[in-house]
Every structure is written in C-alpha cells, then in structure tokens.
Amino acid sequence: MNYWLLKSEPDAYSYSDLENAPNQRTLWDGVRNYQARNLLRDELRSGDLAFFYHSSCKEPGVVGVCRITATGITDPTSLDPASDYYDPKSSAENPRWITVEVEADRPLARTVTLKELKNYPQLEDMVLLNRGRLSVQPVTEDEWQFILGLAEQ
DNA sequence: GCCAACGTTGGC
DNA sequence: GCCAACGTTGGC
C-alpha cells in the first residue's frame, strides 16, 4: 500500500465537505497538472491512503485521512463545456484527465500545520516542503507515521 | 527545440 | 495583495 497527500482549498472543498458527501465519497476532479495527473492515473491504487491537506487558507495543514476507493476514472468536468475545468482537447474516446474516487477515513485529532511540519528534520525531504505546488504527491511510510504521531500530541 | 511572456499556485 | 516558483504557450 502507498501513501499520498491530496491538496484542496477548503473554501472550494474541505475535509468536512467530504465527510458530508454521499457515502463520504467524492471524485477528485479538476486536477489540471500533468505530474499530478500521472500520479492519479498510474500510481494511486484502490486501498491506498492519503492525507487531506487544506491549502490557501488561514491555517494550511493536514486535517484528515482519506482512502482511494476507485481509479482510472475519466474526469467528467473535463468533458463538460459548462465546467470551469472543461478541456476541449479531452474526449470520452481519448480522455486527457484521469482521476480517482476518495472516501473519508477519519479526521486527524488536530490539524498538523504546514508551519509545524517545517520544524522537523524527519520531514525535510517531504515533497510538500520541497515542491510546493504539486496537488497530488507521494508520502513515505516514515513521513506518514510521523505525521500521524504529531496529530496525537 | 529554445526561451520570453504569461498564468497559476499557494504561502505569507 | 505580493511575489517566488513553477508550468504552459507560442513565436521563431
């Protein structure tokens, strides 16, 4: 099993929005970055776990855990001319944007803030801290366990 | 294929 | 609102 970190702006879609969604699941749509798309398409597997990270907000940080429940799904917003995420270069026959379904697993006992994550040498190689703008990114098992531990402090 | 201009992300 | 760090676009 692999671990990931998914960013979302809470004003657009927060962890509590996921908890309140039907079946506590949602399609992780709207990603329009090829590096992130390649991870969604090729690397994420059903059963993998991901941190839910709140970005561009008052207190950026990890707020919860979610689980990947389905993969290889064409992003429907890319085919919808009415969507902000519509991409005329994508089609049902040759989809350009592939995504996954996620399910809320559990909220962290507290938000582990970005500010705090920067303090620990154990996390200095985290993608989050070194490649700021990637919205889907891998987390190592050590990083995963360490951050879960922080949340319990 | 290079690279300048431009757009976006996201922390602060 | 600012701006650094990228990513994308498009002329050449």
> Gap from A132 CA to C3 C1', in Å?
14
For strand B, is any atom closer than 7 Å to the CB of A45? Answer: no
> Gap from A85 CA to C11 C1', in Å?
27
Residue A71 has pLDDT above 90, yes or no: yes
Q: What is the pTM of this model?
A: 0.94
Domains for chain A: give ranges and CATH numbers: 3-144 (3.10.590.10)
Burial of A65 (0-12, 13-18, 19+ CB in 10 A): buried
pLDDT tens figures, A20-39: 999 999 999 999 999 999 99
Burial of A51 (0-12, 13-18, 19+ CB in 10 A): buried
Closest CA to A107 of A31, A10, A1: A10
pLDDT tens figures, A114-142: 999 999 999 999 999 998 789 999 999 99
